[in-house]
Amino acid sequence: MKWLDAKKFINGSVKNWQILKEQFNGKEREILESAYLVVSYSAGQIELSALTPEAIALNHPKLLAQTCFNVNFVNLMKKKAWLMNHSQKNQKALGWIETKIRNINMDMIEIVPVTVELRFRQLNFYLIQRLKDSEYCDKANTDMSKVSIRVVLK
C-alpha cells in the first residue's frame, strides 16, 4: 500500500472513530474519549500520533514493505539520526543527507497491510461489545467474541 493510500485509509478510520464516539454519552463517552488509535501490522503497532515516515523508518521499519526505495529511505534516516546524535557533527554530511531526504518522493514509500484499532485505557466489556456491533467496526478483522477487546475500525 502506497503511503498516500495508507494516509487516506487511516484518515477515513479516524473520521469513523469520531462519528462513532458521538453516538455515546455520559460515562461511556468518557471511556471513549480516553481511548486512542493505533496502526497495527504483522510485526507490531504504532500509536497514530507517532505515525510519520521518519518515525516509521527509525522505530518501526518492519511497517515498510521491503523495496529498494524503502531500504534507501531507512538507511538515510538512520544516518541522519546517527549524525545528529554525535557531538562532533559533520555538518556537510548532515546537510547532504537532509537534502536527499527533502527530495524524496514520499508517494514512493510503501507500507505493509495495516488495520486501525482502538486501545482502551479503561475497560468496559459491554461498551466494547457495542462498539463491535457498530457499522464502523471492521467485523472481518475483529474477533466478535465477548472475551476479546480488539476493535478494528473501517
- Round to whole Å and give the CA distance between 62 and 86: 26
* E strand map for the chain: 36-41, 44-47, 115-119, 151-153
Q: How many domains does the chain have?
A: 1
- Please check the confidence at residue 88 and state whether its pLDDT lies above 80: no
47: cell is 500509536
Q: Judge if pTM exceeds 0.75.
A: yes
Burial of 25 (0-12, 13-18, 19+ CB in 10 A): exposed
For the chain, give the percent of residues with pLDDT over 90. Answer: 86
Of 32-41, 49-58, 65-74, 142-151, minimum mean pLDDT range = 49-58
- Please check the confidence at residue 51 and state whether its pLDDT lies above 70: yes
Structural domain including 112 reads 3-153
- Please check the confidence at residue 109 and state whether its pLDDT lies above 90: yes
